[in-house]
Each structure stands twice: as structure tokens, then as C-alpha cells.
Structure 1
Amino acid sequence: MTQTVETLFDTGLERYKAGEAATDLIPVFKEVCDRAPKLSSAWICLAWLYLLEDKPNSGLKAAQKAVKLNPQDPQARVNLAIAMLETNQKGVRQHIDVTQQLILVNPEWREEIQNSIADGLSRKPDWPSLVKVKNWIFGD
């Protein structure tokens, strides 16, 4: 029996939260993106997993798709900023500025971004691009 897109996504997310390696989860989220190409949250997750696995070009493509689908999602913007830094793209500041505006509007998003950054640094300590993005967004 084939899993629904929602079940596949939720299962992948649970596996990630349980500490499963990003490399094992990339195929899960690729399948979700293939089956539901307009689901921005799946593209956001896929971009994050690629970035954790030092695949910045794939991460950039997924992050661009996520931002295109949902320009008001701060995590999509954070992922894109990281991917742009890691692929030496210009225009990072714009995404940092939008993220700062979004987290001012919604305090829950601020907490989500802080948690996401903490998670990223726990999985990939001393991640230079993530540390830069964190400092730019939060001024730490």
C-alpha cells in the first residue's frame, strides 16, 4: 500500500526529530516533493537536509523552489540564505531582511527559527554559513 503524501511527510519529519541521519531522509522528502510539487514545507525540509549533507547546489534549488512557493515562510528564506552563502551567490541580504521582518510580525516564527538554527548547529557544529545567518538575523 502506498502511503499518502501527508503520511510520508509526517513520518519523515518524525524520523528527523528522532535523530535519523539527513542522508537517509533525503529520498523520503524527494518523493514527497515529486508527488506534491507545490507543497512548500516539503521543499523547505528537502533544502535543509541537502544543506546538512553538504550538498549546497541541490539545497539551493530546493530552497529557491520553497521561497517561490511560499515567500512568507522565514525558514524557506533562512535555507535560501545559507545555500546562497555556500554557493557564493549574491543577494543574501534581501533574504535576511525579509526573515527579520517576518519574525517581527510573528513571534512564533522567531522561536521556530531559533529552534531550527539550534538544531542545525547540534547536527552540524560550527556550520559557518548557519552561524553567519544566525548572527545577521538575531544580531548575536
Structure 2
Amino acid sequence: MTQTVESLFDTALERYKAGEAPADLIPVFKDICDRAPKSSPAWTCLAWLYLLEEKPSSAMKAAQKAVKLNPQDPQARVNLAVAMLETGQKGLRQHVDFAHQLMFVNPEWREEILSSIEDGFSRKPDWQSLAKVKSWLFPE
């Protein structure tokens, strides 16, 4: 029996939440992106996994696809901003500002982004570029 893309995605996300290593999940999310190339959430997750694994160029490509597919996704924008910081790209502030506006419009997104950032620090405690983006999104 073949799993649907949705069930593959849900299973992979649960594996991530259970603490499975990002390196083990990258091929799974790449497969999901190959099967469903217009799935912004899959590209967003793949970008995050690449960022956790110190692969900012791959993260940037995945995050760009996610933002192109769904410009209203603040997590995709955050991932793109972090990847841009890590690859020395310019123009990342527009993505941070847009994510900030989206979080203002929808308080649930604010909580999701904050939770995602905390997850990032739990997996990669000294993540400087994420700390910088967090300080822009959530100024003390």
C-alpha cells in the first residue's frame, strides 16, 4: 500500500517532533517535495532541516520555493531570512518585516514562530543567525 503525500508528511513531522535527527529526515522531506513540488509546507520543513544541518545554500533554495509557493507563510519567510544571513545575502530585512506583519495580523502565527525558534535553539543552542532574526521579530 502506498502512503499518500499527506500521510508521509504527517509521519515525517511526527518523527521530527519526536526528536529524530534532521539529517535522517532530509531525504524523507526531499522525497515529499519531489512527489508534491507545490507543497509549501514540505519546502518550508526541508529548508528548516537544511538550516539545522549547516547547509544554508540548500536551505535557501528550499525556502525560496516555499516563499514563492506561499508568500503568506511567516515560517517560510523566517527560514529564508536565516538562510540569507548564513549565506551573506542582502535583502533579508524585507522577509523579516513581512513575517513580522503576518504575525501581527494572526497571533497564532506569532506563537508558532516563537515555538519554532525555541525548537531551533533546543537543537542548535548557539545559532547566531536565528538569534539575530529572533531579535528583529521579538525585540525585548
Kindly provide the amino acid, as one letter, of the partner of residue 98 in structure 1.
F
The residue that corresponds to 2:101 in the other structure is 101
Question: So what's the TM-score if we normalise by structure 2?
Answer: 0.99
Aligned residue number for residue 86 of structure 1: 86
List aligned pairs for 1:1-140, cutoff 5 A. Answer: 1-140=1-140
Counterpart residue identity of residue 101, structure 2: Q
Q: Distance in 1 between matches of 2:129 and 2:85?
A: 6
Query: Under a length normalisation based on structure 1, what TM-score does the superposition of the two structures give?
Result: 0.99
Q: Unaligned stretches of 5+ in structure 2?
A: none
User: Cα deviation per residue 1:50-97 (whole Å; 9 max; x = unaligned)?
Assistant: 000000000000000000000000000000000000000000110011
CA distance in 1, matches of 2:98, 2:27: 30
CA distance in 2, matches of 1:31, 1:99: 27
Tell me by how many angstroms 1:21 deviates.
Answer: 0.3
The whole-number CA distance in structure 1 between the counterparts of 2:15 and 2:73 is 23
Instruction: State how far apart, in whole Å, the 1-side matches of 2:40 and 2:16 are.
Output: 18
Unaligned runs of 5+ in 1: none
RMSD: 0.5
In 2, the alpha carbon distance for the partners of 1:101 and 1:71 equals 12
Distance 2:120 2:26 in 1: 16
Identity of aligned residues (%): 77
How far did residue 127 of structure 1 move?
Answer: 0.1
Quote the Cα distance in structure 1 between the aligned partners of 2:17 and 2:95.
26
